[in-house]
């Protein structure tokens, strides 16, 4: 009888790493047939859109706040046109000398008429409907209540019908709404991350269940928890990368389309709502974070399951 | 009882129960010596597979002590168990082949897990498949192999790493008599190289084929000692009673 083959070379019985293609083959790659890439893709699309929206709102609010924080409007509310004009000119003379005023301009009557056109229509008679004279001014720094009080005192003699309002005060509800939307976007990002983690956890557990027999065999052949977890982690990482790339692509398309839609509004409010390169970088981090989350979840899930075995 | 010197495995008053059920193994005590060949016999349900599970470290006993290679494996940290498992070769009753790997990759698996470089794998794996008569089926998946072929792959996988101890649960149950003898020759060859072999079987004819073997018999979870090996532990390869005699003892 032929002599039985026995390896003469001493087998390395250390806990050497089990890597490469043979290790990968231990867990059949579901690729796009499994739920993981699709779950990750959907989560990444939603998270990319929510992140981009949150960042755009932050930029919009920040830009508007910076623009309006030092702004104030002086209205001369006088029905008689000549007196109104006189008070406006006198107010301009005082404001020019006011040390805390950085810049000012009288809003031309045509511009005021254009602003009121949606309500009053064209060709209205300025004498029949008295329109206040408007002066736009910008303080050095923010329009604080103290500055406004001193300005009122300075104008009270020369323009007794002047009314001064900080622009930030009448936009406060808008800022408040934007802040709410920012919190909403942040909450959406957090919730989507948690949902992604839960979905990945379930997908990893499902993959673990499908491959439990293989895991037990490798375990009984002397595979360490780290070896087995690494194989699963890489398998899930590969599936998650496929999904994350698809999700990023779709998410970016959605963000760009939405951005173009808002840009077409041609509104001063949304002009500051664009994304800078740091914002795009943050959006690009979303899929990376999703893959890292998927791999960490898979690793912990497998390690936790293995610890239940001897 | 044995103090651990010169033994491969030592069981002291080991008991095993699953959950809250009754004990499937009770007061099991024995010592396995290096380079010895043991048959573990007993009727179905006697506890042979449970005892093997304790030996291949898939189960902890409910009570008692187990030493392996001079170390108390009951109190051993879990992280150190893989190092012990790599010194064992196991032929499972249900083969436990990885279904999506080829016969070649299944046989190579223990070596890969142990970190043997790919360049050093091909020759021994090919030789082993050739020896078990499956070189022509090295690319076949387990599902396309017959029961006997799967069993031969499982045996090749168990012995390829030249284990210090080989544990086989009914290893010849699905092969023809000629292949059964051939496989036993392989076990004997390993045994001569110093591997301690434990074969669980209820096929008493097998005992005749390995004259140098010793017998442990399980009956309702308790170990009896028909060849006196447990009462008078032999030196390695010392028991030379004929297989015929011992098989007759058991049949009685």
Secondary structure, 3-state, chain A: CCCCCCCCCCCCCCCCCCCHHHHHHCCCCCHHHCHHHHHHHHHHHHHHHHHHHHHHHHHHHHHHHHHHHCEEEEEECCCCHHHHHHHHHHHHHHHHHCCCEEEEEECCHHHHHHHHHHHHCCCCCCCCCCCCEEEEEEECCCCCHHHHHHHHHHHCCCCCCEEEEEHHHHCHHHHHHHHHHHHHHHHHHHHHHHHHHHHHHHHHHHHHHHCHHHHHHHHHCCCCHHHHHHHHHHHHHHHHHHHHHHHHHHHHHHHHHHHHHHHCCCCCCHHHCCCCHHHHHHHHHHHHHHHHHHHHHHHHHHHHHHHCCC
Residue A166 falls inside a structural domain: no
- Both A177 and A37 in a single domain? yes
Dihedral sign computed on CA atoms, order B228, B232, B235, B240: negative
- Both A31 and A177 in a single domain? yes
Q: Which of A126, A160, A194 is the last residue of a domain?
A: A160
Chains A, B: CB contacts under 8 A, how many? 111
State which residues form the domain around A17: 5-65+173-309
* Cα(A200)–Cα(A183) distance, integer angstroms: 25
- Both A22 and A102 in a single domain? no
Q: Which of A160, A193, A212 is the last residue of a domain?
A: A160
Q: Which residues of A touch B167 (CB under 8 A)?
A: none
- Both A206 and A82 in a single domain? no
Min Cα–Cα distance to chain B from A235, Å: 15
The count of residues in chain B is 252
- Both A185 and A48 in a single domain? yes
Residue A183 falls inside a structural domain: yes
Residue A186 falls inside a structural domain: yes
| Closest residue by Cα to residue B185 from B163, B212, B165 | B212
Portion 221-240 of A in contact with B at CB < 8 A: 221-225, 227
Give this complex's ipTM.
0.84
Residue A202 falls inside a structural domain: yes
- Both A145 and A236 in a single domain? no
pLDDT values of chain B reduced to their tens digit, one per residue, 252 residues: 444 557 899 999 999 999 888 999 999 999 898 989 999 998 888 999 999 999 999 999 999 999 999 999 999 998 899 999 999 999 998 889 999 899 999 999 999 888 888 888 899 999 999 988 899 999 999 999 988 899 889 999 998 988 999 999 988 877 788 888 888 888 888 888 889 999 998 887 888 788 778 889 999 999 887 666 665 555 554 444 444 554 454 444
**Model-level pTM?**
0.69
- Both A195 and A250 in a single domain? yes
Three-point CA angle A294, A298, A301, nearest 5°: 140
Q: Which of A160, A186, A202 is the last residue of a domain?
A: A160
User: Which pairing describes strands B196-200 and B165-169: parallel, antiparallel, or unpaired?
Assistant: parallel
| Helix (H) or strand (E) run with residue B217 in it | strand B214-219
- Both A255 and A181 in a single domain? yes
- Both A57 and A186 in a single domain? yes
- Going across the sheet that includes B23-32, the strands are B23-32, B9-17, B63-68, B71-72
Residue A114 falls inside a structural domain: yes
Residue of B nearest to A18 (CA): B113
- Both A141 and A202 in a single domain? no
Residue A73 falls inside a structural domain: no
Min Cα–Cα distance to chain A from B251, Å: 31
Min Cα–Cα distance to chain B from A273, Å: 53
Q: Do B162 and A22 touch (CB under 8 A)?
A: no
* Cα(B215)–Cα(B39) distance, integer angstroms: 5
Measured between CB atoms, does A33 come within 8 Å of chain B?
A: no
B149 three-class SS: helix
Q: Do A6 and B82 touch (CB under 8 A)?
A: no
By Cβ distance, the residue of B57, B87, B90 closest to A13 is B87
- The total of structural domains in chain A comes to 2
Residue A70 falls inside a structural domain: no
| Helix (H) or strand (E) run with residue B66 in it | strand B63-68
- Both A83 and A232 in a single domain? no
Measured between CB atoms, does B194 come within 8 Å of chain A?
A: no
Residue of B nearest to A7 (CA): B124
- Both A26 and A103 in a single domain? no
Residue of A nearest to B57 (CA): A310
Q: Which residues of B touch A29 (CB under 8 A)?
A: none
């Amino acid at each position: 009888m032929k002599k039985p083959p026995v390896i003469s070379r001493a087998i390395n019985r250390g806990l050497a790493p089990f890597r490469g293609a043979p290790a990968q083959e231990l867990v059949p790659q579901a690729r796009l047939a499994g739920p993981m890439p699709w779950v990750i893709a959907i989560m990444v699309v939603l998270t990319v859109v929510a992140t981009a929206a949150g960042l755009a709102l932050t930029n919009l609010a920040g830009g508007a706040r910076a623009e309006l924080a030092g702004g104030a409007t002086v209205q001369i509310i006088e029905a008689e046109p000549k007196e109104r004009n006189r008070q406006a000119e006198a107010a301009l003379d005082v404001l020019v000398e006011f040390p805390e005023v950085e810049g000012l301009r009288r809003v031309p009557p045509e511009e005021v008429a254009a602003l009121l056109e949606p309500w009053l229509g064209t060709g209205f008679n300025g004498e029949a409907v008295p329109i206040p004279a408007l002066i736009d001014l910008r303080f050095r720094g923010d329009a604080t209540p103290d500055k406004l009080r001193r300005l009122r005192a300075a104008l009270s003699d020369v323009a007794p019908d002047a009314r001064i309002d900080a622009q930030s005060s009448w936009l406060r509800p808008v800022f408040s709404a934007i802040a709410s939307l920012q919190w909403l976007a942040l909450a959406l990002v957090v919730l989507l991350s948690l949902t992604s983690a839960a979905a990945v956890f379930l997908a990893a557990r499902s993959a673990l269940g499908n491959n439990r027999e293989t895991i037990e065999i490798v375990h009984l052949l002397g595979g360490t928890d780290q070896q087995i977890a690494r194989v699963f982690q890489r398998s899930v990482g590969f599936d998650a990368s496929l999904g994350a790339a698809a999700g990023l692509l779709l998410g970016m398309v959605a963000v760009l389309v939405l951005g173009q839609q808002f840009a077409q509004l041609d509104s001063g409010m949304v002009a500051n709502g664009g994304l800078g390169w740091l914002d795009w970088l943050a959006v690009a981090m979303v899929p990376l974070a999703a893959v890292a989350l998927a791999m960490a979840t898979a690793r912990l899930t497998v390690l936790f399951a293995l610890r239940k075995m001897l | 009882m044995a103090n651990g010197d010169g033994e491969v495995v030592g069981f002291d008053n080991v008991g095993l129960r699953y959950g809250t059920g009754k004990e499937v193994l009770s007061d099991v005590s024995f010592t396995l010596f290096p380079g010895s060949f043991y048959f573990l016999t007993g009727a179905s349900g006697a506890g042979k597979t449970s005892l093997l599970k304790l030996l291949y470290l898939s189960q902890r006993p409910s009570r008692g002590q187990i030493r392996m290679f001079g170390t108390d494996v009951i109190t051993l940290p879990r992280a150190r168990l893989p190092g012990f498992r790599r010194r064992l070769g196991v032929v499972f009753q249900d083969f436990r082949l990885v279904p999506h790997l080829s016969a070649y990759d299944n046989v190579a698996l223990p070596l890969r897990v142990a970190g043997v470089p790919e360049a050093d794998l091909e020759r021994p794996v090919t030789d082993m498949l050739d020896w078990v008569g499956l070189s022509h089926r090295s690319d076949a998946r387990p599902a396309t192999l017959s029961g006997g072929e799967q069993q031969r792959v499982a045996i090749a996988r168990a012995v390829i790493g030249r284990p210090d101890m080989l544990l086989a649960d009914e290893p010849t149950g699905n092969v023809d008599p000629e292949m059964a003898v051939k496989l036993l020759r392989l076990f004997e060859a390993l045994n001569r190289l110093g591997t301690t072999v434990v074969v669980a079987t209820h096929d008493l004819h097998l005992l005749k084929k390995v004259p140098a073997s010793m017998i442990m018999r399980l009956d309702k979870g308790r170990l009896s000692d028909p060849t006196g090996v447990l009462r008078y532990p032999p030196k390695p390869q010392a028991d030379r009673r004929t297989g015929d005699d011992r098989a007759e003892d058991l049949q009685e």
